[in-house]
Chains A and B, each alone.
Chain A
Amino acid sequence: MATVSSTPSETLDPLDTTVRLVTPERIAFEYPLAGPFRRAVSYCVDMILITVLMLAAFLASLALTLGSTSGLGPALVAFFVIYQGYGAFCEGVFNGQTLGKHLLGLRVVSDQGVPITGAQAVLRNLVGAVDGLIPFIYLPGLSCMLLTRKFQRLGDLAAGTMVVVEERRRRVGVIRLREPAIEAVLPWLPMRIAAGPELARALSDYVRCRRRFSRSRLEQMAEPLARPLRKRFTLPPKATSDAILCAVYHRVFLGD
C-alpha cells in the first residue's frame, strides 16, 4: 500500500529491513535500511580517507614549518579536527553523506525521514565514541544495531537518526512474452480481464521469475492458480498451466 492510512499501524508492516516514510506530500514510500555490513564497508572507506587526510595535514604542517618540531602542533590540531569533525561536517553539509556513504549509496536521515540538522550530525558523531568504546571494539554499536528495528547504533539513537540505502534501480519495463504455446491460449480469453491488485501482482511476479525454473517445476507452481482460471474461461485441457498464467498476464498487462 502506498497510500497513507489514517491510523499508523506499525505492527502490520512486514518483518523486513525497510522503513516507511511519509513525505510532506502525504505519500508513504519505503526505504531499505542499511545494515551493519554495508555500514562497516563505508566506515572503512571513511577511515582510509581520514588517515590520508591526516597524513596530508602532517606533511603540510611539517613543510610549512620547514621541518621543525613546531610543525607537530598544527598537525596534532589537524588530527583532532579531522578525526572528530569529519563525519559531522560531511553529514551536515553534504545532506547526510560522507564519502564512504556516498560510494555505497547510504544516507543519514532523521528517523522521521526528513534531512538531518547540523546538531544531529554533530550529536551522532560525538556520541558515536561510545559505539567504538576502546575495550569492546565496536561491540556496543553492533549489538545496539542488532537490537533496534532500524539498525541504529548508539549515536543514531541519541541523535534520532538512521541510515538508509538510496537505491538507483534500473527501470524494467513490462515483460512481453512471445511463445506459440501462450499465443494459442489467447483467443480463448476475453480482450479485457479486470484482475484485482493481488492477482495482478501474483501474475507479474510469476512471469518475472519463470525463466529460472524447469518446465515440470513451473507446472507445479502454476497449477493452483491456473485451475480456477481454466474453469472460469473454459480453456482447453491441453493448455499447460504455465501457458494459461502467461496468457492471462498478457491480457491484464498488455491487452491484445
Chain B
Amino acid sequence: MRVVDRLAQRESSWRELEVLLSKMGDARQPRLNTDEILRLGELYRAACTDLMLAESHDLPRDTVAYLHALVGRAHNAVYRAQGFRFRDCARAIFDTAPREIRRDRAVRLSALVFYGSFILCGLIAAAREDFTEKVIGASYVAQMDEMYSRPINEARKDAGERNDTAMAGFYIQHNTSIGLQCFAWGLLFGLGSLYQLLSNGMILGTVFGHMARTTYAENFYTFVTAHSVFELTAIVLSGAAGLRLGYGLIETKGQTRLASLHREAKRALPTVGASAVLFVMAAFVEGYISASRLPYWSKASVAIASAVILALYLSLGGRAPRERSRLVVRADAGSNP
C-alpha cells in the first residue's frame, strides 16, 4: 500500500479527533455527549497506533511530527487532572496532618529549636538590659515601647485609625505568607527553615523578655495571650514541614535525591496545610480579640480554649474510630483461615 493511500485512509479520523479536541477545549461549545466521548477514546487509540506504525509505514517527517502533537493533545484531554476535592483537602488537614505531626521527628526538632531560642533569648533579655538593643535594634525597641506604653483600652479610645477587620486581614496576609515561605525555604537543605525558626524564636523571645523589665509589661502580655497558642504552634509546624523537605534531600533512603525530595514534600504538605489554617485562626483572634477591650479573663479563656482545641486536634485527630478498626480486624481474620 502506498503512503498516499494510507494517509488518505487515516486522514479523516485524525481530522475528526482534532474537531472533537477543539470542541472539548472550547468553553463556549456544549460538553461532549457520551457517544462523542467514546468516539474520542477510539480515535485516540487509533492515532496512537498510527504513530506507532509511522516508522514502518514510511510516513514523512511532517506527518510524524503532526501525529506526535495530535497524540499529545489527545492524551491530555483523555487523562485529566483531578483538581481539588473538598473531601481530600479535609482529610489531609484533619486526618493525615495530625498523624504526621505526632510521628514526625522534624516537628520535635522544630519545636526544640524555636522554643529553645525563644526561652533562652527571653531569659537573657530579662536579665540584661543591653541584650535587647543588640538583637532587635534600638529603633524597633523604641517602637515596641511606644506601642505598648498604654493599656489597650486607653489606646483604643483616642486611636480611631485602628480597625479590627483591616488588622485581621493584615495578619492573615502577612503571617501566613511568612509561614508558607518558611516551608518553601526548607528546600535549601532545611537551612532556610532553620534560619526562620531561629530568627523568629530569638526576636519573639527577646521582645517577651524585654517587656518583663518594663513597667507596662501587663499591656503587652494582655495583648499576646489570646492568639499566641495558635500562632506559635503554626510557626513550629511550618518550620517542621520545611525541615522535612530539606531532610528529604539529605537522607535519601536508597532513592535518588529527587525521588526522595518528592516523597518528603508530599509527606510535608498536610502539615503545611494545618499550619496555614492555624495562622489564619491566630490572625482572626489577634485582630478581633487580642486588640479588643475585652477584660483579661476573657482573653485568657480564649487562650485556654484554643490550647484545648489544639491539644484535642493533635492527640485525637487522625485516629481511626474504634468500630472501623474492629471491622478491619474481623475482615483480616476472615481472609486468613
Interface centre among A21, A77, A167, by most chain B C-beta atoms within 10 angstroms, is A77
Mark the stretch among A39-47, A194-202, A215-223 that contacts chain B: A194-202
| A239 located at the interface, meaning its Cβ lies under 8 Å from any Cβ of chain B in the complex | no
Contact B185 A130 (CB under 8 A): yes
> Using an 8 Å CB-CB cutoff, how does the interface string of A1-17 with B read, 1 for contact, 0 for none?
11100000000000000
Closest to B81 in A: A115
CB distance from A158 to the nearest CB of B (A): 5
* Residues on A with beta carbons closer than 8 Å to the beta carbon of B265: 123, 127, 158-159
Closest to B70 in A: A169
Contact B81 A121 (CB under 8 A): yes
> Using an 8 Å CB-CB cutoff, how does the interface string of A168-182 with B read, 1 for contact, 0 for none?
111111100000000
Distance, CA A245 to CA B320, complexed state (A): 74
* Residues on B with beta carbons closer than 8 Å to the beta carbon of A94: 81
| B187 located at the interface, meaning its Cβ lies under 8 Å from any Cβ of chain A in the complex | yes
| B80 located at the interface, meaning its Cβ lies under 8 Å from any Cβ of chain A in the complex | yes
Residues of A6-55 whose CB lies within 8 A of B: 21, 23-25, 27, 29-31
Distance, CA A218 to CA B184, complexed state (A): 57
Contact B45 A75 (CB under 8 A): no
Interface centre among B76, B192, B258, by most chain A C-beta atoms within 10 angstroms, is B76
For B, the interface residue count at a CB cutoff of 8 angstroms equals 74
Contact B88 A70 (CB under 8 A): no
* Residues on A with beta carbons closer than 8 Å to the beta carbon of B63: 172
> Using an 8 Å CB-CB cutoff, how does the interface string of B127-151 with A read, 1 for contact, 0 for none?
0000000000000000000000000
* Residues on B with beta carbons closer than 8 Å to the beta carbon of A160: 258, 262
> Using an 8 Å CB-CB cutoff, how does the interface string of B1-17 with A read, 1 for contact, 0 for none?
01111010001001100
* Residues on B with beta carbons closer than 8 Å to the beta carbon of A197: 55-56, 58
| A240 located at the interface, meaning its Cβ lies under 8 Å from any Cβ of chain B in the complex | no
| B172 located at the interface, meaning its Cβ lies under 8 Å from any Cβ of chain A in the complex | yes
* Residues on B with beta carbons closer than 8 Å to the beta carbon of A173: 7, 11
* Residues on A with beta carbons closer than 8 Å to the beta carbon of B258: 157, 160
* Residues on A with beta carbons closer than 8 Å to the beta carbon of B170: 72-73, 76
* Residues on A with beta carbons closer than 8 Å to the beta carbon of B172: 76-77, 80
Closest to B269 in A: A119
Contact B184 A254 (CB under 8 A): no
Contact A201 B54 (CB under 8 A): no
| B272 located at the interface, meaning its Cβ lies under 8 Å from any Cβ of chain A in the complex | yes
For A, the interface residue count at a CB cutoff of 8 angstroms equals 76
Contact A127 B163 (CB under 8 A): no
| B52 located at the interface, meaning its Cβ lies under 8 Å from any Cβ of chain A in the complex | yes
* Residues on A with beta carbons closer than 8 Å to the beta carbon of B61: 201, 204-205, 208
* Residues on B with beta carbons closer than 8 Å to the beta carbon of A123: 265-266, 269
Contact B81 A117 (CB under 8 A): yes
| A139 located at the interface, meaning its Cβ lies under 8 Å from any Cβ of chain B in the complex | no
* Residues on A with beta carbons closer than 8 Å to the beta carbon of B76: 95-96, 107, 109, 115, 166
Residues of B165-187 whose CB lies within 8 A of A: 165-170, 172-173, 176-177, 180-181, 183-185, 187
With A2-B55, A92-B84 as contacts: A169 and B65 at CB distance below 8 Å: yes
| B60 located at the interface, meaning its Cβ lies under 8 Å from any Cβ of chain A in the complex | yes
Distance, CA A200 to CA B258, complexed state (A): 41
Contact B81 A96 (CB under 8 A): yes
* Residues on A with beta carbons closer than 8 Å to the beta carbon of B97: none
Distance, CA A200 to CA B70, complexed state (A): 22
> Using an 8 Å CB-CB cutoff, how does the interface string of B175-215 with A read, 1 for contact, 0 for none?
01100110111011000100000000000000000000000
Contacting A118 at CB < 8 Å: which of B7, B65, B82? Answer: B82
Distance, CA A122 to CA B163, complexed state (A): 32
| B48 located at the interface, meaning its Cβ lies under 8 Å from any Cβ of chain A in the complex | yes
Contact A169 B60 (CB under 8 A): no
Contact B60 A204 (CB under 8 A): yes
CB distance from B79 to the nearest CB of A (A): 5
Contacting A129 at CB < 8 Å: which of B75, B168, B184? Answer: B184
Contacting B187 at CB < 8 Å: which of A122, A154, A172, A205? Answer: A154
With A116-B81, A158-B262, A172-B63 as contacts: A72 and B72 at CB distance below 8 Å: no
Additional A-B contact list (8), CB under 8 Å, known A73-B169, A107-B76, A255-B2: A2-B52, A29-B51, A84-B177, A91-B81, A166-B73, A168-B69, A173-B11, A197-B56
Instruction: List the 8 closest A-B pairs by CB distance, nearest first.
Output: A73-B169, A73-B165, A204-B60, A76-B169, A200-B58, A72-B166, A80-B173, A129-B184
Q: List 13 A-B contacts (CB under 8 A).
A: A3-B52, A29-B67, A70-B165, A72-B169, A76-B169, A118-B81, A126-B180, A127-B184, A172-B66, A174-B7, A200-B58, A253-B2, A255-B5
